[in-house]
Amino acid sequence: LEIDCSENVLDDKNTDEIGTLNNFLSLSDVPIIEGLETSDSNPNLVKSRRKLHFQAGDELDWLKNKNKFLRMKGKDYMGLKKNKDNKLLLSEKKPARKMGPRCDSTFCKKNVVKRKCFTIKDDDRKELFKSFWDNMTWCERKTYVAALCQTHPTKVNTAGNNISRRADTISYFLNIKNEKLQVCKKMFLQTLCLNEWSVRNWITKSSAGTGIHISPEIKRKKNEVGRLSGGKEEMMNFFNKLPTLPSHYCRSSSNKVYLESLFESKTALYNAYESELAQTKKKVICKTDFFQEFDRRNLALYSPKKDCCDLCEGFKYGHISQADYDTHQNRKTQARDAKNVSKEFAINNSDKYASLTMDVQAVKLAPYIRASSMYYKTKLCVHNFTVFNQATADVCCYLWDETNGGLEASVFATMVLDYLSNMIENTPTLCNISLFSDGCGYQNRNTILSNALLKFAIEQNVTITQNFLEKGHTQMEVDSVHHTIEMKLKKREIHLPTDYINACRDARIKIPYRVKYLEFSCFNDYSQVKYYTSIRPGSSKGDPTVSDIRCLKYKPDSFIQYKL
């Protein structure tokens, strides 16, 4: 049999059943989607995230600020008092503000024309007190008091020939029903429950004698604008140009944005920013504001544990042409976009369509014990092949050690078909399945697995599309599963290969990963299934090879279609 060389297009009858499936299964026609998904699981499964330790807390929750807020509202609060070690502590309870008794001065009673202390009713005083402490901010109170007090030179010198310490006299007024009525000092202070020295300071410090006070928040904002003026736009442009990685490559369900491994520390990042602006002779923002913007954007530095892309590294050092590099980048973007579109379609059509990512975790050892005497002991290699359902976040980990199976194509074909069989059994209406993986030859891109998938497609009457991500850029949601397991294994000792079962199950708490430990009898030999003798698109020198294949489609009519 020869491979059908037609494009990866569905039949008309399948297109009618699945709607727009044809649009995103063709990698060359995938619409560009900016960015990648930052969550590797169903968004309904992750409803809250714990607060990250480096983020600044809410200042309103600080005990100091809570106490300050109570004091400014005139309520009970804790005052500062020195202890035995001469340190100031919030230990002295201060009572709430209460309106004091009215003026009972004989002078005010006789001088009714000038001072209205006895004409003001208690109800008006209570309303004034309540409005002053309930409806005004601390800065508004300062402005209000400064506006009700008038200063003028002293008329009578009581110091004789000595120099008087009092330079002026203060006249006090109360605003009763939009009318300023002059009262004595006692009446003014008792009505508003203020201290004499507080009033004097507010009057003295009022700006230019106008009685208007500038809010500390406004002062802070002015200082901040002055500090950032001329350099903030350049800093924002620098952050916008930074290359980032999808967060699921680094951590499960992470909402962080990770920078590519170009910088070893935040200081190195700041130095790069400083050098860039030095070339253009523009203003450089200080480190504090730079790091605050770094945290505000929820950025993080991370060094990927996978190998770097050979082609990208070659281009960086001038060994790869611009045309080859652009082609490589386009293929990378198209493959990732196809995976994202497939994921969205699977979420919205889970009864007919499934989208899976799969990969093998880095080899594990058993026993794994932190003891120097165990370093030279012979250990068993344990493998973990993981399948991740992008629509349901279902995860199945297939574990086996080297005594039960190796890394042959039939081993991986057994596990892939086992997962597909269980999925078909649970959802009989499935008619299209997409697989996303790297292009590893013995694992994913070989004749044995292709024949096994074609056999399954014929028997179950389903269409299977196998997509291969671009070499060097194979970040997938399944990587987050491996990272979570790695975190669980950090402080755990492994004595037997089967100890990895509990480690995998405990890695995710809400919906534990399903784990299957495989023995020798579990693996099937698919090398005898021979619908096709080769999946290479060409046969002559210079023709495309297996490694050039980007997508394979297995159809129930026993044909395999490919896309380069």
Tell me the pLDDT tens digit for each residue of 102-116.
998 888 888 888 888
Instruction: Provide the pairing of β-strand 257-259 with 244-245.
Output: antiparallel
CA distance 390 to 477: 8
Per-residue DSSP letter, 207: B
Q: Is the pLDDT assigned to residue 413 strictly greater than 90?
A: yes
- In tens, the pLDDT along 375-392 reads 446 788 899 999 999 999
Q: What pLDDT score was predicted for residue 388?
A: 94
**In this predicted structure, what is the pLDDT of residue 276?**
84
Q: What is the CA radius of gyration of the chain?
A: 38
Cβ-contact 296, 52 below 8 angstroms: no
Which band of pLDDT confidence, cut at 50, 70 and 90, is reported for residue 80? confident
Q: What is the mean pLDDT of residues 429-453?
A: 90
- Mean pLDDT rounded to a whole number for the chain: 79
The pLDDT score that the predictor gives to residue 165 is: 74
Task: Return the pLDDT at 111.
Answer: 86
Percent share of the chain, pLDDT over 90: 24
Is the confidence at residue 220, as pLDDT, over 80?
Answer: no
> For the chain, how far is it from start to end, CA to CA, in angstroms?
20
Residue-level pLDDT at 56: 56
The confidence score (pLDDT) of residue 389 equals: 93
One-letter amino acid of 154: T
- Tell me the two tokens of residue 158: 């009581």
Q: Does the pLDDT value for residue 22 go beyond 90? A: no
Mean pLDDT along residues 526-536: 88
50 pLDDT band (50/70/90 cuts)? very low
Paired tokens of 46: 């992750």
- Calculate mean pLDDT across residues 14-20: 35
Tens-place pLDDT, residues 296-347:
888 887 554 555 777 887 887 777 888 988 888 888 888 888 898 999 999 9
Q: Output the CA torsion sign for 254, 258, 261, 265.
A: negative
d(CA 518, CA 498): 10
- Strands 179-183, 244-245: pairing is unpaired
Amino acid 417: pLDDT: 94
What pTM does this model have? 0.50
Residue 5 predicted with pLDDT over 50: no
pLDDT of residue 301: 78
For 285, phi then psi, to 5°, come to -75, 150
Mean pLDDT across the stretch 458-464? 92
pLDDT of 546 higher than 50: yes
Percent of the chain scoring above 70 in pLDDT = 79
Lowest mean pLDDT among 80-94, 290-304, 424-438: 290-304
- Answer yes or no: is pLDDT of 27 > 50: no
Higher pLDDT, 518 or 21: 518
SS3 97: coil
Per-residue pLDDT reduced to its tens digit, 463-522: 999 999 888 888 888 888 998 898 888 878 888 889 899 889 988 888 889 999 999 999
